[in-house]
Structure 1
Amino acid sequence: MKRDFKDLTDRETDRIIEMAWEDRTPFEAIELQFGLPEKDVIRLMRRELKPNSWRLWRERAHQVSHKHLKKRSDDIGRFKCTLQRQITLNKISKR
């Protein structure tokens, strides 16, 4: 299910940017969830970020070896926030 990044909603775009900034989130996870391959994520980030933020993100994405599942060591598992159980659709449920 390939998608064009220009067809994304603002909410989807924000979530992709958030996932791309996270060190533990691989590009494959973004592709699985949103149908955007790495090259389209890079194009989206270039379009949406300020030039300085783009350079910082690109340098960081190059330095982080676990942004690709194939390069990731077996020691790195899936990150789970302690509050994740209480989060539904990115909203904290009422307690």
Structure 2
Amino acid sequence: MQENIFTQIEIDRIIEMAWEDRTTFDAIKLQFGLNHQEVIELMRKEMKASSFKMWRKRMTNRTTKHAALRDRTTTRFKCDRQRSISNNKITKR
């Protein structure tokens, strides 16, 4: 994993984005500079083992998490509740 130092607020946001169905790993890379494997490593480190296993099971074969695998009709990657999150750089564009 890169030697990025994240604040707790940023770590919480990365975890939240990783759990969101429509937020791609590409969006996480764009905002925080973490690739798919680095997100997995961060999740493993920051979450309880049971929560991490649940997340991995949920993410397995989920095409909405990978931009290249998405259905072309899915044009957004933001959760409709995401507007209320103040530390999200993407929503401020």
TM range (shorter): 0.7 to 0.9
Identity %: 45
Aligned length: 86
CA RMSD of aligned residues (A): 2.2
Which of 47, 50, 55 in structure 1 is aligned with 2:48?
50
- Structure 1 distance, partners of 2:82, 2:20, is 17
Please state which structure has a larger fraction of its residues in strand. 1
Instruction: Determine which structure has more spread, i.e. the larger CA radius of gyration.
Output: 1
Tell me which of the two structures has the higher relative contact order, counting C-alpha pairs closer than 8 angstroms and 6 or more residues apart: 2
TM-score by length of 1: 0.79
Structure 1 gaps, min length 5:
91-95
| Residue 34, structure 1, aligned to residue 56, structure 2 | no
- Structure 2 distance, partners of 1:73, 1:49, is 30
Structure 2 gaps, min length 5:
88-93
TM-score by length of 2: 0.80
